[in-house]
Amino acid sequence: MLEGAASERWQHARSVDEYLVSADMIDQSTIAAISTAPGRAALAVVRLSGPEAHLIASRLHLPDADPRVSRHATLRHPKTREAVDDVVAVRFAGPASYTGEDMLEVSCHGGALAPQLVLEAACAAGARVANPGEFTRRAFLNGKLDLMQAEAVVDLIEARSPAMHTAALFQLDRGLSLRIEELREELLGLQGLLAYDIDFPDEDEGPVPAARIEEAAAGLVHRLSRMLDLAPEGELLRDGALTVIAGRPNAGKSSIFNALLGIERAIVTEEPGTTRDAIEALVSLGGYPFRFVDTAGLRENAGRIEELGIEMARGYAQRADLVLLCVEADRMPGPDEDNFLRELTAAGVSRVVVLRTKSDERRGRPAGSVSDSAPEVPVSAVTGQGLPELRTVLLELVYSGIRGKQETPLVTRARHIDCLERARADVTAFQEARTGGLPAEIAGTHIQDATHVLEDLLGVVTSEDVLDRVFGSFCVGK
């Protein structure tokens, strides 16, 4: 039986050529990097991967040890034998390692110097400094994970909200990959049905009823559409929904911004025109990320600096995923609010919530109503009244499709959306070709195209530049 990285690569490859290409893409050097973040810390980890990882360990005067057994030792410079640090070292033997290659993991002291000196000693012993994402790139090329799992590794590192963290962890466990593989299997099944059709074209009712093929195609379009429907929400998990707090000067915008953050971040005064710059903060509500932006109050005839702030506020509002328009509860809304709402509609911003602020100062219903369509929430930054309701409304408006469905594989990247849309377009083109009466072999090419697109998504066949793009976004050491 075949064993090792080569056999895993072979299982993933569809042809001899593909196997050779994937083998070719791995360079034979041994790479090293500090895998932990710089700065003052108790410990740091320096990792090595490649054919000479264990030889380099010996050159660093680390004692021999079985794989996965940690050894406490003094790491010494390979040439001078000078002590570099007191470390704990673990060897891994490929293919049973993260990258699929031989590896060495050194836990040394943290801080500015120790990890750097360990890395320099490793390089003096024959390693070269790794590029960003190079460890995971090797893991991918050795068949340890597929491309979507590799992306999930970055997502996990960069996750800033519990929901993103959950989605990334689920994907690292192949949640989304399995769903894409199922779709790919179905496309291959459909290709099989079509092959029958091509072999027996003249039979009245061939071995495969036409309805069965049509059903399979419709099912695929339906499933691809369902994944794409949730994709916009999945994408928002990455950076948070851009939520712009806007309104006339003194409406209480900064106070609400601070109340949502739970800290006094923006300056609040009784003077209109206090906020002039846009201030951003990422907040997680119920685990889901929102990027709140406090902006300058909108008004005519403002001074020069304030005017610039107002321009910025408009710019932000027009790009927003959601706008919170603040109007004091006791003030009748006027033309400023009407104009602003019109601008938002023109910019395609459909999600607006009207906050009737300072509602502690008014008893009963707020004065007038601001918009026919936007929900109105009375709030007070002073008493906290209305804030829980506001949080619920925001979550419902932005994340209703994916909230609470932890087991739903989520599409979170532009690359995924692009591939799924292309696959759906191919299957739709197939349906049209069938309706148009085109021969099965011609129509079938669209199904082959769709299959290839999903294979791109999984990284079954991948060009260097796709890999560069995916792994270029990694940090060094991962």
Ligand X SMILES: Nc1nc2c(ncn2[C@@H]2O[C@H](COP(=O)(O)OP(=O)(O)OP(=O)(O)O)[C@@H](O)[C@H]2O)c(=O)[nH]1
Q: Which residues sit at the interface with ligand X, rule CB under 6 A? A: 249-255, 268-270, 272-275, 297, 357-358, 360-361, 380-382
Q: Which is nearer to Mg ion, 275 or 412 (CB)?
A: 275
191 binds Mg ion (CB under 5 A): no
DSSP 226-289: HHHHHHHHHHHHHH-EEEEEEESTTSSHHHHHHHHHTS--S---SSTT---S-EEEEEEETTEE
Q: Which is nearer to Mg ion, 171 or 275 (CB)?
A: 275
Find which of Mg ion, ligand X, none residue 331 binds, CB within 5 to 8 Å per kind: none
Shortest distance, position 390 Cβ to Mg ion, whole Å? 18
277 contributes a contact to Mg ion by CB under 5 A: no
Strand order in the sheet with 31-34: 71-76, 83-92, 103-109, 43-49, 31-34, 128-129
CB of 386 vs ligand X, minimal distance in Å? 9
Rounded CA-CA distance 236/216 in Å is 32
Shortest gap between Cβ of 279 and ligand X (angstroms)?
10
475 Rama class: left (phi>0) / alpha (psi -120 to 50) / beta: beta
How far apart are CB 308 and Mg ion at their closest, in Å? 15
Residue least distant from Mg ion (Cβ):
275
Q: Which of 161, 254, 357, 462 binds Mg ion (CB under 5 A)?
A: 254
- Output 48-52 pairs: Cβ under 8 A, ≥24 positions apart: 48/103, 48/104, 48/105, 48/106, 48/122, 48/127, 49/97, 49/98, 49/99, 49/101, 49/102, 49/103, 49/104, 49/130, 49/135, 49/138, 50/101, 50/102, 50/127, 51/101, 51/102, 52/102, 52/126, 52/127
The partner in contact with residue 398, picked from Mg ion, ligand X, none with C-beta cut-offs of 5 to 8 angstroms by kind, is none
Q: Are 355 and 382 in contact (CB under 8 A)?
A: no
| Rg of the chain on CA atoms, in Å | 29
Between 146 and 328, CB nearer to ligand X: 328
Site for Mg ion in 423-442 (CB under 5 A): none
Per CB under 5 A, 295 contacts Mg ion: no
Interface pick for Mg ion out of 275, 357, 380, 412 (rule CB under 5 A): 275
CA angle 24, 27, 32 (to 5 degrees): 155
In order of 86, 265, 292, the CA distances from 256 in angstroms are: 52, 11, 10
- Residue 295: contacted member of ligand X, Mg ion, none (CB under 5 to 8 Å, by partner type): none
Q: How far apart are CA 161 and CA 287, in angstroms?
A: 6
Take residue 292 and report the two structure tokens written for it: 């709140």
Residue 381's binding partner out of Mg ion, ligand X, none, with CB under 5 to 8 Å set by partner kind: ligand X
**What residue number has its CB nearest to ligand X?**
297
Pick 144 or 291: Cβ nearer Mg ion:
291
Beta-strand relationship, 83-92 and 288-294: unpaired
Least Å from the CB of residue 268 to ligand X:
4
Residue (of 241, 285, 287, 228) closest to 410 by Cα position? 228
Nearer to ligand X, 377 or 470 (CB): 377
273 binds, among Mg ion, ligand X, none (CB under 5 to 8 A by kind): ligand X
Q: Print the binding letters for residues 214-253 with Mg ion: x by CB under 5 A, - otherwise.
A: ---------------------------------------x
Q: How many CB atoms are located within 10 Å of the residue 303 CB? A: 10
Decide whether 382 or 429 has the Cβ nearer to ligand X: 382
Q: Which does 361 bind (CB under 5 to 8 A by kind): ligand X, Mg ion, none?
A: ligand X
Task: Identify which of residues 50 and 297 has a Cβ nearer to Mg ion in the complex.
Answer: 297
- Given ligand X, Mg ion, none, residue 428, with its beta carbon under 5 to 8 Å by kind, binds none
Q: Is 273 in the site for Mg ion (CB under 5 A)?
A: no
User: Closer CB to Mg ion, residue 253 or residue 291?
Assistant: 253
How many chain residues bind Mg ion (CB under 5 A)?
4
Is residue 295 within 8 A of residue 313, CB to CB? The reply is yes
Q: What is the DSSP letter of 82?
A: -
One residue of 36, 166, 191, 274 binding Mg ion per CB under 5 A: 274
DSSP conformation class of 361: G
* Residue (193 or 313) nearer to ligand X, CB: 313
**Residue closest to 359 by CA, chosen among 245, 269, 251:** 251
Rounded distance, CA 321 to CA 214, Å? 38
Q: Is residue 408 near Mg ion by the rule CB under 5 A?
A: no
Q: What minimum distance in Å lies between the beta carbon of 277 and ligand X?
A: 10
Q: Which does 120 bind (CB under 5 to 8 A by kind): ligand X, Mg ion, none?
A: none
Evaluate whether 402 touches 410 at the Cβ level (below 8 Å): yes
Question: Cβ closer to ligand X: 53 or 251?
Answer: 251
Contact footprint for Mg ion (CB under 5 A): 253-254, 274-275
